[in-house]
Structure 1
Amino acid sequence: MPDAAAAFSVKAQDSDSIPLDGMTPRDRRRVSNWLLTICVMLLGMIALGGATRLTGSGLSIMDWRPVTGILPPLSHAEWERQFELYKGIPQYKILHDGFGLAGFQKIFWAEWTHRFWGRMIGLYLLLRLVWFAATGVLTRALILRLALFFVLGGLQGAIGWFMVASGFRADSTAVEPVRLVLHLSAAFILYVAILWTALSIRFPRPSIIPDRQAGRRARAILAVAIGLISLTIIAGGFTAGTHAGFSYNTFPLMEGRLIPEGYGKLSPFWFNWIANIPAVQFDHRLLATLTALCVGLVLLIGARANLGERAHRGVILLGWAVLAQYALGVTTLLLVVPVPVATLHQTFAAVLLSVAVFTLHALRGVGRAS
């Protein structure tokens, strides 16, 4: 048994940048299951964030209390105090004037649930990390990596408050689009980092790819597709932040034009990409279409080649995922951004990215001999 464990340790070290010395297959399953559970929780967080934004609930909590904020108002007086704070910002005066305490409580609970769920993710990560470290399950390098994820999660909470605070300005009824995109992007970066780590622990040895030449082509194009998915998510954040989805609710043309009138009306030109509604929505559409075409090319290569079971399964799932996400995007647009469909569209962007990352991870072995 010691010889087998040593052999596994050497192979694991040789195959991945994550040191797994001494971790048994059972330990690897336990740790990867824990991290994959966190990924599922983060998907829920992304969904809650989308619902919070779409219902205009994000500005209902006017103070940031990282620790004591875990408790909601416990008395009528505290509810009234929170409501009075909310009455002082433009969003209430312009959008919700007169909707009463019951209406305020409805949006408050949506935002409180979003923040509470984020705290639960952090707590679950920390407690299991301490337990696994104390019982000798984790390597030193892995402890440091996972501790960094915990710190980044706390930073993500701070970025969230930085975003929310931008909606308290005297001339605003919503958060700044740039801060919204920063918050969204940080969430996705953390999500992908945890997912990749979980997969590397679960599958420490790269799969053997029988058709390595096709595998290299598929992996290169898939890397481009992941870049396009990321850019599409960022463009989607600006679409949400500028409320661009409520305009040009036809497809594929925008008011009868392929490229909408007024695309480049702002100066400097790059400012159109983050603040000009016609340009923001067109860019989101264009990037989504390029993503779908790129994934289609991966599917065309992968379906004809022998990439191994795991990579082949990933490629097929990726084709279905991009089709579903594209359909959700068009449906969201044509129905003028209904909350349930739009929330699902945002959440499924993370699902699509997850399948792409899983497939890329399965193709790590394209440069290795059988």
Structure 2
Amino acid sequence: MEDWFHFPHHAPAIEHRITRENATGLRNWLFAIAALVFAMVLLGGATRLTESGLSITQWKPVTGVIPPLSEKDWLDAFEQYKEIPQFKQLFPDMDLAGFKVIYAWEWTHRLLGRLIGLVFVVGFAWFWIRDRIPQGYKPKLFAILALGGLQGVVGWWMVSSGLVNRVEVAQERLAIHLLLAAALFSACIWIAGGLGPRAPSSVLHGDGPRMRFVSRLALGIVFVQLGLGALVAGLRAGFIDNTWPLMEGGFSPSIETLFSIDPWWRNFLDNPILVQFLHRLTAYVLLALTLLHMIDALSNAKGKARTGAIIVFGHVVLQASLGIATLVMIGPEWLGAPHIALALAHQAVGFGVLAVTTLEARRLGEAAS
């Protein structure tokens, strides 16, 4: 009988004999980590949309878990916030009560990050001590741990960019921060997807390599799209050109508009019109690719590989629809809770697309092997 962790056939059976319950525990733990990262991304999105991300102007990885407890502590934290450009230029009329609200968003965001690290370290240690980590998986789990640590450092690097000479964080650092979160999320799902029995999933002879390539290409494009989405958010590019399918009066803005900044390559990071246009184009490419993949799977795949292709395409359609709605419904009356909810739904489904695309690529990798 095939072992639950897909060990190499030469792996000593006694040294790493893993029961179904052990496999389920490790898999569920990784899925729980992914769920916490998902919650962290949504909380981060809410923190950004409420302009709360710069409310804590110091990075204290350990002692920062304790919020201000006295009136004096709150006043000290507020005075530190008053020193940065965001307060002086955007919120000079904010009072202490308003500051406490934005502080709560950012503090909760950082607290959840610490919680994810704690849950991962404790779980990793527990599975290791009980010899429930199969051969070859420890380096993968260490890589996730290192990625999580890097994410904390990059998070502060991002915040620090908004404390001097800016009223918001640098958009390229925001994109890196989100992409690291996406990598953590996808890695947990990818590894968890390889634990347990292989689900019935097959492709017709000769079609496997092609379908595997397309599924992995789609996964790569999802990462590109998430990075572009972060740039759109950081540049507030969603507040311009709020029409669809036309943009600047046509399908594409003029070359002069798309590359109005010198040197030309800075447009890919600093020009909100080009960034939004690329975000749209990438959505069209992803929609077309997943549609073709679904048609291919309906003809040449069975089981969960086939079902997964349908689910991926459905998620992409929903995500594109939410993106269009978020864009065209922006207006003065939408700058409050309704628009925040719509924008967060767009971000949530974006990570849903990442999840199902990761699983489809993982599944087709097995089916095509």
Q: TM-score, normalised by structure 2?
A: 0.91
Deviations 1:28-67 (A, max 9, x none): 1110001001111111011011111111100000111111
SS at match of 1:167: coil
In structure 2, list runs of 5 or more residues that go unmatched. none
Matching of residues 272-287 of structure 1 within 5 Å: 272-287=267-282
Q: How far apart are the structure 2 equivalents of 1:210 and 1:350?
A: 27
Structure with more helix by fraction: 1
Matching of residues 236-255 of structure 1 within 5 Å: 236-255=229-248
Q: How far apart are the structure 2 equivalents of 1:81 and 1:333?
A: 39
Q: TM-score, normalised by structure 1?
A: 0.91
Assess if the C-alpha contact under 8 Å between 2:218 and 2:289 holds in 1: yes
Aligned-residue offset at 1:142 = 2.5
Tell me the residue number matched to 1:83: 78
Asked if 1:194 corresponds to 2:195, the answer is: no
**Aligned-residue identity in percent:** 35
- Cα–Cα, structure 1 residues 10 and 49, in superposed 2: closer, same or farther, change >3 Å? closer
Aligned-residue offset at 1:99 = 1.4
- Between stretches 27-36 and 253-262, larger displacement belongs to 253-262
Assess if the C-alpha contact under 8 Å between 2:86 and 2:166 holds in 1: yes
Aligned-residue offset at 1:139 = 3.4
Q: How far apart are the structure 2 equivalents of 1:49 and 1:254?
A: 29
Tell me the residue number matched to 1:299: 294
Aligned-residue offset at 1:11 = 5.2
SS at match of 1:99: coil
Q: How far apart are the structure 2 equivalents of 1:9 and 1:340?
A: 41
Assess if the C-alpha contact under 8 Å between 1:311 and 1:359 holds in 2: yes
- What is the aligned counterpart of 2:49 among 45, 49, 54? 54
Q: How far apart are the structure 1 equivalents of 2:345 and 2:203?
A: 37
SS at match of 1:209: strand
Task: Give the aligned CA root-mean-square deviation in angstroms.
Answer: 2.1
Aligned residue type for 1:27 = N
Deviations 1:67-113 (A, max 9, x none): 11111111111111100000000100111111100110111111111
Tell me the residue number matched to 2:213: 220
Aligned-residue offset at 1:214 = 3.3
Assess if the C-alpha contact under 8 Å between 1:9 and 1:22 holds in 2: no
Aligned-residue offset at 1:156 = 0.5
- Cα–Cα, structure 1 residues 273 and 83, in superposed 2: closer, same or farther, change >3 Å? same
- Between stretches 269-278 and 210-219, larger displacement belongs to 210-219
Q: How far apart are the structure 2 equivalents of 1:163 and 1:123?
A: 22
Tell me the residue number matched to 2:68: 73
- Between stretches 20-29 and 251-260, larger displacement belongs to 20-29
Assess if the C-alpha contact under 8 Å between 1:196 and 1:357 holds in 2: yes
Q: How far apart are the structure 1 equivalents of 2:10 and 2:94?
A: 59
Q: How far apart are the structure 2 equivalents of 1:209 and 1:316?
A: 15
- Cα–Cα, structure 1 residues 83 and 295, in superposed 2: closer, same or farther, change >3 Å? same
Tell me the residue number matched to 1:320: 314
Aligned-residue offset at 1:190 = 1.6
Aligned residue type for 1:327 = S
In structure 1, list runs of 5 or more residues that go unmatched. none
- Cα–Cα, structure 1 residues 257 and 63, in superposed 2: closer, same or farther, change >3 Å? same
- Cα–Cα, structure 1 residues 223 and 142, in superposed 2: closer, same or farther, change >3 Å? closer
Number of aligned residues: 357
- What is the aligned counterpart of 2:90 among 72, 95, 114? 95
Aligned residue type for 1:357 = T
Tell me the residue number matched to 2:99: 104
Q: How far apart are the structure 2 equivalents of 1:314 and 1:38?
A: 22
Aligned-residue offset at 1:221 = 1.8
Aligned-residue offset at 1:208 = 5.1
Q: How far apart are the structure 1 equivalents of 2:212 and 2:99?
A: 49
Aligned residue type for 1:364 = G
- Between stretches 76-85 and 224-233, larger displacement belongs to 224-233
- What is the aligned counterpart of 1:329 among 323, 326, 329? 323
SS at match of 1:363: helix
SS at match of 1:26: helix
Tell me the residue number matched to 1:308: 302
